[in-house]
Chains A and B, each alone.
Chain A
Amino acid sequence: MPTLTIAALTLREAVRRRVAAVVAILSLVLVALIAWGFWKLNGAIGNRTEAIGADAVLAILLAFMFSVVLGIGGAFLAAGSIAAEIDSGIALAVLPRPISRAQYVAGKWLGLVTLVISYAAVSGALAFLAIRFAAGYDPPNPLGALAYIIAQSVALLTLALLLSTRLPALAGGVLSVGLFGVSWIAGITAGVARALKAETLAHVASAVGLLLPMDGLWRGAVFDLTPVVVQVAEATGHGQHVNPFGVSDPPTPAFLVWCAVWIAAVFGACVGSMRSRDI
């Protein structure tokens, strides 16, 4: 019950502070621009096969933009959610109540995850529908891509929430976004290193990718947005060497289990950090 109270409070804060309204307006403007852009693009390319290829690339770039907005937005909200309450003194009134530190953290996490899922579901659905109506193009697995983008954002916001138990809001936000960037660069580096057969570099980049699995999840989204014909090209080596952003295989089940364990472990560290923190 206290967990749900804190979760509802977190959602209400996002609405009252106009975060939700600003993001909603931004998303609607972006969706309108996406629809217009796809319509113009398909009008300019007469060949249907070429148009599908261009649509696929554009859809992935747009998904990348959405995932970055979602990831960074979620990270900054999470980085401030506990730190700001401790720094301002709000936590002094809430934490003496009959609520455990674990429930407090769980409430914050649940509220933020609900916010991320709601935003991703609505804006993602609108974007994919806009692409369908403007260009007649459907990505291969939009729901799967959406799930990966949400998972990436949940992983990042859980990390930011952990930082929020110890660092001021701004420092936690900057650090978590920095780590998001490290994860992304590690993914690209691993692809380039494998292509160049630089095994040591590939191993190190892969290890960083496991420690910060956000990019691995994003690659799952890319796979689900890539048309089958391009996937085959990547898998047969025609695309991999020239495109470090390309994805030929979906994330393995073992990686997905690892991501779930990773999120649970970071959440556990978050609870532990909060329990031992003097307010």
Chain B
Amino acid sequence: MTTAPAIEALGLAKRFGRTTALADFSLTVARGEAFGFLGPNGAGKTTAVKLLLGLCRATSGAAEVLGAPVGDRETRRAIGYLPELFRYQEWLSAREVLGLHARLIGIPRTKRAAHIGEALDLVGLAARADDRVGGFSKGMQQRLGLGVALLGEPALVFLDEPTSALDPAGRRDVRAIVENLRARGTTVFLNSHLLTEVERVCDRVAFVDGGSVVAAGSIAEILGASRSLRMHLESVDESVRAILSRYGAVAAEPPSFTLRGVAEGDVPRLVTELAAAGAQIHAVEPARTTLEERFLQLLSHDDADTHDRRADAS
């Protein structure tokens, strides 16, 4: 059994004319993990996915997928892909679309019907299997796309905004599908704006902005880096403020405020020091940072850096 990562990208760059879509993009995704790929619009997420699938050619850098160079034809049998812009032959039925992909993957003729039936059941389209795709709603087409991506039990699945056209029930179904894929050892590369979904199903995430990865790690690592405390204090004088600023960054003015960036082990000592300094402590509770908050922090930090760089330049 190969030990090569599911995805390994090193310094990938992609330029379209003068526009740099991706710059020095490096990333490693282990086999069997559900990986969240996050970033604002235009950050380069879809370009990165297309490079890893061989749909676009990198301007520089290198990448391997499932231990083979990007674009390797045999390896592509083991890769499923649901594009963000999902469109299938509207003049075919859902079953025929899956049949087409089953032939392209090389599923033996005798096993095709079973694989197609499984995919239809999995995405909830069995009842509409023989209807033309042209009559499907966007949500149904996205379900079909998911079925196409999962056909033939791929080892690696790229899902680019897989719930963009789905209702809440559909999103729940996709979450269950991703959890099921992870349970059976399939690597899932999930590109999504729905950070709550990503937080629920992914082992690790990477934030991409401006064409390169700005942060990557497990969910715990990403969120742990910014532990916050919600506090309600009264009698806050300069000495209390000095203590607070030693432990973290005060957001908003007391009495009710959030103290960001406090190390977990420092909380008891912080409370003791505040009490000794005469602060009246009404509430101290850990504020769990969501992935969404962390995402916005990273972006605002990035914006500030950009602003600083511009200021320096001027």
Max chain A CB contacts within 10 Å: which of B85, B104, B106?
B104
A34 to B62, CA, bound (A): 63
Min CB distance A277 to B, Å, is 9
CB distance A97 to B57 under 8 Å? no
Residue from B56, B91, B145 in contact with A279 in the complex, judged by beta carbons closer than 8 Å: B56
Q: Is A9 interfacial (CB 8 A cutoff)?
A: yes
Q: Is B76 interfacial (CB 8 A cutoff)?
A: yes
Q: Is B18 interfacial (CB 8 A cutoff)?
A: no
CB distance A95 to B55 under 8 Å? yes
Can you list 27 A-B contacts (CB < 8 A)?
A: A1-B106, A12-B92, A88-B87, A89-B83, A89-B85, A89-B86, A89-B87, A90-B87, A92-B87, A93-B81, A93-B83, A93-B86, A93-B88, A93-B145, A94-B104, A96-B53, A96-B54, A96-B76, A96-B79, A96-B81, A97-B76, A97-B105, A98-B76, A98-B106, A100-B73, A279-B55, A279-B56
CB distance A96 to B55 under 8 Å? yes
CB distance A97 to B101 under 8 Å? yes
Min CB distance A93 to B, Å, is 6
Interface residues of A (CB under 8 A from B): 1-2, 5, 9, 12-13, 16-17, 88-90, 92-100, 276, 278-279
CB distance B55 to A99 under 8 Å? no
A92 to B74, CA, bound (A): 18
Given contacts A2-B104, A16-B91, contact A92 B85 (CB under 8 A): yes
| A99 / chain B contacts, CB cutoff of 8 Å | 73, 104
Min CB distance B59 to A, Å, is 10
Interface residues of B (CB under 8 A from A): 16, 50, 53-57, 73-74, 76-77, 79, 81, 83, 85-89, 91-92, 100-101, 103-106, 145, 148
Besides A90-B88, A90-B89, 4 other A-B contacts (C-beta < 8 A): A1-B103, A92-B55, A93-B87, A278-B56
CB distance A97 to B104 under 8 Å? yes
A13 to B134, CA, bound (A): 13
Min CB distance A17 to B, Å, is 6
- A95 — nearest CB in chain B belongs to which residue? B55
- B74 — nearest CB in chain A belongs to which residue? A98
